[in-house]
Structure 1
Amino acid sequence: MNHNVRRFMSLWDCPKPVIAKIAGWAVGGATDLAMCANLPFMADDAHIGYASTDRIGE
């Protein structure tokens, strides 16, 4: 887990702008990658999130 966090944070700490293009579904780790970008661009029909969040509270 710590290894993955370091990889995502390397994008966050990158000295150059990071651009993410989101088309279709971005679920789980893809959501994390998109949120680490400086400029995330999403298509009008794109979906982003975590698959298990709809089950919280059940």
Structure 2
Amino acid sequence: MESTLNVPLSEGQLFLAMILQTCLLVWFIVFPIILIRKLNYLIAMIEDKFYPENESPSE
């Protein structure tokens, strides 16, 4: 079965499409890393607040 969708694209359009795909790929890699680091930071803050390291269990 042949594809009937033939849309001629200029070099500028191809370049913009390549830039968009690259940005999306980078975003899908970088965003989860940023999110995980931020969550780790927040969890560490919460743990320090509720379970301080210098607090002894007998207090």
TM normalised by structure 2 equals 0.26
Q: Which has the higher strand share?
A: 1
User: Which of 1 and 2 has greater Rg?
Assistant: 2
Q: Name the structure where helix makes up a greater proportion of residues.
A: 2
Superposition TM-score, scaled by structure 1 size: 0.26
